[in-house]
Structure 1
Amino acid sequence: MREFIPPATRFIDLPAGFAMKRGGALYGARIAYETFGRLNAARDNIILILTGLSPDAHAASHADDPTPGWWEVMLGPGKPIDTDRWHVICVNSLGSCKGSTGPASIDPDTGEPYRLEFPELSVEDIADAAAFTVRALGFERLACVIGTSLGGMSALALLARHPDLARSHINISGAVHALPFSIAVRSLQREAIRVDPQWNQGRYDAENYPRRGMLTARKLGMMTYRSAQEWDSRFGRARLSPDRRTDEEQFGLEFEVEGYLDFHAHRFLHRFDPNSYLYLSHCMDQFDLGDSCGGTADEALSRLRLEKALVIGVQTDILFPLRQQRKIAEGLSASDADVQFLSLESPEGHDAFLVDINRFGPPVAKFLSVDW
């Protein structure tokens, strides 16, 4: 079991007995976060970023940690999320292994990692922990909450459960619930980890680690994060050169696309905990904004109290298809919010918000540049 915590990470202690939606409570738990930019005198320039499944709180470089962050292209001085104007808080999700308490963290009752004794995780728990963090930092009102992927789900849960916390919202490649295809893919990812003998009901260590299961799970994920259009244009049927073949076994890696998946899967091995992967992916499948709010998703969205919102989706996204972002925009439009919906043509699929700055940057910058 291992946590992967960036060096500039800060922490907020959650209250003792932090109640989890599906039962159980956490004691001695914490949330990891980083901040970017300066707080203004009026204390009204605060943006909260909620992340996808795997990112840490280090969204961008800053003086305390100059290494590039996971959203370096979007966040910083003069960038679309301009830290010359905004004070940005990025939190690492509860249940992760990047600083916030999760299955890889030490259970204070036993002195051992929680492993599968960690309570069942929900998106609502992630949202509540993020809201507590904001308030513990002394803020009662956010200018904007930005959520990407799983963070888009978490942001909607936060807005529904803490209706006065944010004035506006940017939802990027999010959803009110998972669709069958996405559930099926994540189910296969979890199965790949669980059937690896080294997983051992979550009781693995550095020497006995579910390496093959994690590699397979990550490769399945990578296939859904990008699009077939990108695979075609980027790799075609190009084959690996002999010096790049990692094995000579029959049916081993042969094509460039296989090499790409293998390279990124091996990188992920050393950056994420398998049990945390199981917990976070499962909570995505379980989430339903309508059920969470005791009605339909449309009813829940129409009750959110926002001044304005920007909802962005990508036409080539197969993991969170564009119709899911359109549903969010239509639901929010039934409230009093000024809602803008953008359908982008990026070939990069679900991961486009991480890499296609030319398409994502301008609308985010424009939304945040208007005087409020």
Structure 2
Amino acid sequence: MSDARRWFALSSPFPMKRGGELVGAHLAYETWGTLSAERDNAIFILTGLSPSAHAASNADDPSPGWWEDMIGPGKYIDTNQWFVICANTLGSCKGSTGPADTNPATGQPYRLDFPELTLEDVANASHELVRSLGIERLGCLLGNSMGGMSALAYLVQHPGSVRAHISISTAPQAQPFAIAIRSLQREAIRLDPNWNNGHYDDAHYPEAGMSIARKLGVITYRSAMEWVGRFARIRLDSEQREEDPFAVEFQIESYLAGHARRFVRSFDPNCYLYLSRASDWFDLAEHGTGGVEAALKRIDVERALVIGVETDILFPLSQQQQIADGLRANGATVDFVALDSPQGHDAFLVDIPRFGAAIAGFLATL
């Protein structure tokens, strides 16, 4: 199978918000559709913590993407009309430069020598990529989850560079509950002896720590309502249980274990730590004076769609309302959509018909 990814070389050195710089860094990205002659039909997608740039299938890579049912010809984000770009986040391990990559100064992996990463750095790297494609002003900037925070950083740091914005299940600043969960996830990784201050390898890998971190995440990505509806208190059949007296007994435990098994070796632990911490550090209020509301009011877009989910405990609906109100205060025409999807924070990946209908309806007005 061919690789649909493209690579964009960032400015070198690439300065980081909290100090330090990257030399020879790059972003992996993919595109769908055709850029118009006026270069005004581009949608840029900023992702959550773990996805790659492969948001949907294409001719070069027909494998399903993480938003397969959302993007494509005739789909909710219609690539017959829009030129869609999705980049793997700076600091990740899915093709873009991150802690798992080689430090050109030493010839060894960066590990914890990677500069402190912020979502402002993610946004600036993405802006460089967009400009390199000859796009002066995006038709729409879309961000979900952590990517929504990166999108807000993009908007506040690069005023006038985006015509419309779609904000999905995100936050203008990290709140205590989300910080607490992510802190526990990072602690689980760091307390695994195999993490070894970032110096692990395939034979000595912090699998237990990554497994716990992933399970904690999955618990918060969905809602208690969904767990009850899907699993209740159903126990595994006796032949499915191990002999250990404290082994997995309930179906929900087995489900979490399966999720963890699929994740732990597919995402680099140090990259996970860096991106998780960057999410906790993000605070739009740092961009000027007057708090979050004042910072949101400085964002200059013509139109915006803000979507939240009532059952989202990680990025609660009140934060989506705050974003909508803040953008509206600067004169933007804002559509606010509150969905009752039972899937919680992960609903934008699962409840495609309702999210898609809202997104397609909004894009049709641009």
CA distance in 1, matches of 2:302, 2:293: 18
Per the alignment, residue 326 of structure 1 pairs with 321
Alpha-carbon shift at residue 243 of structure 1 (Å): 3.7
- TM-score of the two chains, using structure 1 as the length reference: 0.97
Q: Which residues of 2 match residues 268-307 of structure 1 at below 5 A?
A: 268-307=263-302
CA distance in 1, matches of 2:11, 2:327: 32
Per the alignment, residue 50 of structure 2 pairs with 54
Per the alignment, residue 3 of structure 1 pairs with none
CA distance in 1, matches of 2:300, 2:138: 13
Do structure 1's residue 231 and structure 2's residue 215 form an aligned pair?
no
Q: Residue 157 of structure 2: which of 137, 158, 161 is its match?
A: 161
Do structure 1's residue 45 and structure 2's residue 41 form an aligned pair?
yes
Per the alignment, residue 363 of structure 1 pairs with 358
CA distance in 1, matches of 2:170, 2:287: 16
Q: Residue 267 of structure 1: which of 246, 262, 268 is its match?
A: 262
Per the alignment, residue 191 of structure 1 pairs with 187
CA distance in 2, matches of 1:284, 1:272: 17
Which secondary structure state, in structure 2, belongs to the residue aligned with residue 341 of structure 1? strand
Per the alignment, residue 180 of structure 1 pairs with 176
CA distance in 2, matches of 1:97, 1:269: 13
Query: What is the aligned-residue identity percentage?
Result: 61
CA distance in 2, matches of 1:189, 1:154: 21
Q: Which amino acid aligns with 1:63?
A: A
Deviations 1:193-242 (A, max 9, x none): 00000000000000000010000000000000000000000001111123
Which secondary structure state, in structure 1, belongs to the residue aligned with residue 28 of structure 2? strand
Deviations 1:126-184 (A, max 9, x none): 00000011011221110000000000000000000011211000000010011101100
Which secondary structure state, in structure 1, belongs to the residue aligned with residue 121 of structure 2? helix
Q: Residue 29 of structure 1: which of 15, 25, 33 is its match?
A: 25
CA distance in 1, matches of 2:252, 2:66: 23
Structure 2's unaligned 5+ residue stretches are none
CA distance in 1, matches of 2:303, 2:206: 45
Do structure 1's residue 349 and structure 2's residue 344 form an aligned pair?
yes
Which secondary structure state, in structure 2, belongs to the residue aligned with residue 198 of structure 1? helix
> Taking structure 1 as reference, are residues 33 and 336 closer, same or farther at Cα in structure 2, changes over 3 Å only?
same
Which secondary structure state, in structure 2, belongs to the residue aligned with residue 212 of structure 1? helix
CA distance in 1, matches of 2:282, 2:9: 25
Q: Which amino acid aligns with 1:8?
A: A
Which secondary structure state, in structure 2, belongs to the residue aligned with residue 311 of structure 1? strand
Alpha-carbon shift at residue 269 of structure 1 (Å): 1.3
Which secondary structure state, in structure 1, belongs to the residue aligned with residue 69 of structure 2? coil
Per the alignment, residue 141 of structure 1 pairs with 137
Q: Which amino acid aligns with 1:30?
A: H
Q: Which residues of 2 match residues 47-86 of structure 1 at below 5 A?
A: 47-86=43-82
Do structure 1's residue 132 and structure 2's residue 131 form an aligned pair?
no
Q: Is the 8 A contact 1:160 1:293 kept in 2?
A: no
CA distance in 2, matches of 1:7, 1:251: 44
CA distance in 2, matches of 1:80, 1:236: 34
CA distance in 2, matches of 1:24, 1:184: 27
Do structure 1's residue 336 and structure 2's residue 331 form an aligned pair?
yes
Alpha-carbon shift at residue 365 of structure 1 (Å): 0.3
Per the alignment, residue 121 of structure 1 pairs with 117
Q: Which amino acid aligns with 1:362?
A: A
Q: Is the 8 A contact 1:298 1:331 kept in 2?
A: yes
CA distance in 2, matches of 1:274, 1:191: 12
Q: Which amino acid aligns with 1:208?
A: H
Q: Residue 254 of structure 1: which of 244, 249, 252 is its match?
A: 249
Which secondary structure state, in structure 1, belongs to the residue aligned with residue 315 of structure 2? coil
Alpha-carbon shift at residue 40 of structure 1 (Å): 1.9
Moved more, 190-199 or 36-45: 36-45
Q: Is the 8 A contact 1:80 1:361 kept in 2?
A: yes
Alpha-carbon shift at residue 42 of structure 1 (Å): 2.0
Structure 1's unaligned 5+ residue stretches are 1-5
CA distance in 2, matches of 1:285, 1:259: 29
Q: Residue 97 of structure 1: which of 84, 93, 118 is its match?
A: 93
Q: Which amino acid aligns with 2:71?
A: L
Stretches of 4+ aligned residues off by more than 4 angstroms: none
The CA RMSD over aligned residues, in Å, is 1.0
Q: Is the 8 A contact 2:4 2:58 kept in 1?
A: no
CA distance in 2, matches of 1:356, 1:278: 28
